[in-house]
Structure 1
Amino acid sequence: MPIRPLRQLIAAALIAAQTTATAEPAAQYLGSYRWTQPDPLFGGVSGIELDRTGTLLTAITDRGLLIRGRIARQNGRITGVDVKTVEPLRARDFVPLRDKGTDAEGLVVTPQGVVFVSFEQIHRILRYDPHRDEIRRLPEPPGVARLGKNSGFEALAQHPDGALFTIPERSGGRQAPFPLLRFDGSTWKVAARIPRRGPFLPVGADFDGDGRLYLLERTITPLGFRSRIRRFVLSAPDLAEVTLLTTRPNLHDNLEGIAVWRDARGVTRLTMVSDDNFLRFQRTELVDYAVTE
């Protein structure tokens, strides 16, 4: 049997074994696709957005590139990525970002085509408006001064009501919750506090059409990366926290970006992307899950 299908079957079996037959929602593994490109600058993909059909892709990289393309699927599984454009992210003076300023992590693409990108090392969030040919920097979220250079606002998401949300990768203590910050167009305010559970740290986020927040978290072990996805209802007093997925080490690579969409049957799908850190022993992969309710 070819290595790739065998690996996918093993992964599916392991995840199925982790999911008990209960009424609790869970994320069901569908498949993985190793994404490669001939461009030597390709890699470090840390943020992803998909359109409502899960087909049109926008991604960002640690070297400050914005990638747009189209995902091909067969029988619900990813079979290829047709890259249409690759362009550098730019500063407010429209000069391509350089050096430490390129470390893009979180991504939002609005229905109107406006792009928001959060960066670490030089912590900031930029707004790219193609309609006005305008690039501007959003006000700083609270707590920026306490962030480490590699522990910034990696999780960035837009609520269906249009508000922008972000979560820092660090909470300030092992027992301290993560602040969920909401931008109302002028200022950032703490909208909720996400409980910190175990060693996992936020690296990606997205909302579904019902306004539920999906938080992708990651931890690193001697045996490889582990990922977790939790879902929250912001209007619920206890946030109605549900853990949809917790993987064993090295099941997937370094998953950092997540996109939530619904397929033709109305099933909520989660597509994630891994950051290979430009290392040969890591890989850029797109991973698909379906949420079972």
Structure 2
Amino acid sequence: MKLTRRRGLIAGFSLVVFVAVAASLAWGQLQRYALEPVAITVEATPITSFDTRDPAQLRFGALMFRGGLALTSKHPAFGGISGLHMEPDGAHFIAVTDRGSWLRGRIVYDSNGKPAGIADAELAPILGADGTPLAAHKWFDSESLAERDGMLYVGIERVEQIVRFNYRRDGLKARGEVMKVPADFKTFTNNKSLECLAVPPHGAPHADELIAVTEESLDADGNLRAFVLKGAATERFSVKRSDEFDVSDCTVLPPGDLLLLERRYSIARGVAMRLRRVPLAAIKEGAVVDGQALIQADLAYQIDNMEGVGIHRTPQGETVLTLVSDDNFAPIQRNLLLQFTLAE
């Protein structure tokens, strides 16, 4: 197939995806969130190659493809995975969905270390301080997730709030505590805000501080507004926006980088995702930070609406990145789980 024709097909498909996403926002309110903690069955179809044109290729930019899964479930609340936290063992995970549910489970690996399935999967409502589901109060657009000392922090778009949960103590029944956020959170662009939360570990720049980067709430120069949340001492900085990419999640890449997961929806150019590393040491009040792209991929690769990224290290010392996608509860999209190893 000629390159121009392939690009045309990708652009055409991206238009369909764009329309589906817009439509999902209209009827997404009808989607059920989990009403109580429930065990579910998740079916997983292995993805053995990332490049659909060259199954033998394993290296992509600075990453090596380990394997992936396409995930489905019959439970109506499964889908819309929008934020991910990997436990240190590299198997157990917890995620949030953009309809207001927790998703918890365990990645099963084959003898070669490739993802082979999902076990022990559970869904549960994300609860407010009163014990009722946040989604019931229209605080449902949970898009970002970070962990600090056993506490989970969830960023909720549209209401522009961050809610804290004592997950280590209470598990999926944890009740949320609304954090105080800067007043200028209310100036974010609607549905373009709290897609990225991260907490650098002990010893890293900005250790134990909560970093937030907006999806596409722009400053006067067209860059992404970002914050280091320290209570009254909040620092404001910007992340350089380039090539029409917007932030969809983040994590910390040891020893000292903020790893940004980015996506692009463009009718003319198609759908794409990118991972970019930004030095934590460059983050200062008023700074505009930028960084190196580790990988960039379009629909010629096994991607979808990539919205979550987590990280762990293997006993052999490898750094593994786990990416998940948000299907928007749309039948033409997929819930993907992809794993890469840092090649450096």
Normalising by structure 2, report the TM-score.
0.74
Question: Which residue of 2 is the match for residue 10 of structure 1?
Answer: 52
Deviating above 4 A after TM superposition, structure 1's stretches of 4 or more consecutive aligned residues are 3-9, 11-18, 236-240
2:185 paired with 1:144: yes
Amino acid at match of 2:97: T
CA displacement at 1:4 relative to structure 2: 5.7
Determine the C-alpha separation between the residues in 1 that align with 2:52 and 2:221: 35
Of the three residues 205, 216, 229, the one matched with 2:250 is 205
Contact kept? 2:181, 2:231, Cα under 8 Å: no
Which string of whole-angstrom CA distances, capped at 9 and with x for unpartnered residues, describes residues 92-124 of structure 1? Answer: 2221122631111001133x4211100112211
Partners of 2:340 and 2:214 lie apart in 1 by 25
Q: Distance in 1 between matches of 2:115 and 2:161?
A: 33
Distance 1:283 1:168, change over 3 A: same
User: Residue 23 of structure 1 aligns with which residue?
Assistant: none
Match of 2:160 in 1: 123
Q: Shift of residue 186 of structure 1?
A: 5.3
1:39 has 2:75 as partner: yes
TM-superposed deviation, 1:266:
1.2
Distance 2:96 2:47 in 1: 28
State the match for 2:26 in structure 1: none
Kindly indicate whether residue 114 of structure 2 is the aligned counterpart of residue 87 of structure 1.
no
TM-aligned CA deviation for residue 221 of structure 1: 3.0
The residue that corresponds to 2:64 in the other structure is 28
The aligned residue for residue 108 of structure 1 is: 146
Aligned length: 283
Unaligned ranges ≥5, structure 1 = 20-25
Distance in 1 between residues matched to 2:87 and 2:117, nearest whole Å? 16
1:241 aligns with 2:241: no
Shift of 1:174: 8.9
Match of 1:278 in 2: 329
Displacement of 1:173: 5.8
Q: What's the RMSD between the two structures over aligned residues?
A: 2.7
Give, in whole Å, the separation in 1 of the partners of 2:146 and 2:291.
Answer: 23
User: How big is each residue's C-alpha offset from its partner over 1:204-227, in whole Å with a ceiling of 9 and x where there is no partner?
Assistant: 000033131100001113475210
The answer (yes or no) to whether the contact 2:69–2:337 under 8 Å persists in 1 is yes
Amino acid in the other structure paired with 1:79 = A
**Contact 2:48/2:67 (CA < 8 Å) preserved in 1?**
no
> Could you say if the C-alpha distance between residues 261 and 142 of structure 1 is closer, same or farther in structure 2, counting changes exceeding 3 Å?
farther
Displacement of 1:81: 1.1
Deviation, 1:172, is 2.1
Partner in structure 1 of residue 266 of structure 2 = 221
Q: Which secondary structure state, in structure 2, belongs to the residue aligned with residue 41 of structure 1? A: coil
Shift of 1:258: 0.5
8 A Cα contact 2:273 2:296, kept in partner: yes
Letter aligned with residue 243 of structure 1: A
Q: Which amino acid aligns with 2:130?
A: D
| Letter of the structure 2 residue corresponding to residue 83 of structure 1 | D
The change in CA–CA distance for 1:229 and 1:166 in structure 2 (over 3 A counts) is same
Deviations 1:211-270 (A, max 9, x none): 311000011134752101100112148857211011123520100010122122212111
Whole-angstrom distance in 2 between the partners of 1:15 and 1:239:
32
- Give CA-to-partner distance per residue, 1:159-179, whole Å, 9 cap, x none: 112111110112426952223
Structure 1 counterpart of 2:27: none
Distance in 1 (CA, whole Å) between partners of 2:250 and 2:186 is: 22
Bigger proportion of residues as helix: 2
In the other structure, the counterpart of 1:22 is none
Shift in CA distance, 39/195, structure 1 to aligned 2, threshold 3 Å:
same
Local SS of the residue matching 2:138: helix
Bigger shift: residues 94-103 or 238-247: 238-247
Structure 2 counterpart of 1:69? 105
Q: Structure 2: any 5+ residue segments left out of the alignment?
A: 1-44, 202-206
How far apart are the structure 1 equivalents of 2:48 and 2:311?
A: 27
The 8 Å contact of residues 46 and 59 in structure 1, kept in 2 or not, is answered as: yes
Deviations 1:63-117 (A, max 9, x none): 111121111112121111113432101122221122631111001133x421110
| Residue 155 (str. 1) matches residue 155 (str. 2) | no
> For the structure 1 residues 91 and 250, does the alpha-carbon distance in structure 2 shift closer, same or farther, using more than 3 Å as the test?
farther
State the shift of 1:134 in Å: 5.4
Q: TM-score, normalised by structure 1?
A: 0.86
Q: How many angstroms apart in 1 are the aligned matches of 2:248 and 2:95?
A: 15
Residue identity in the other structure for 1:199 = E
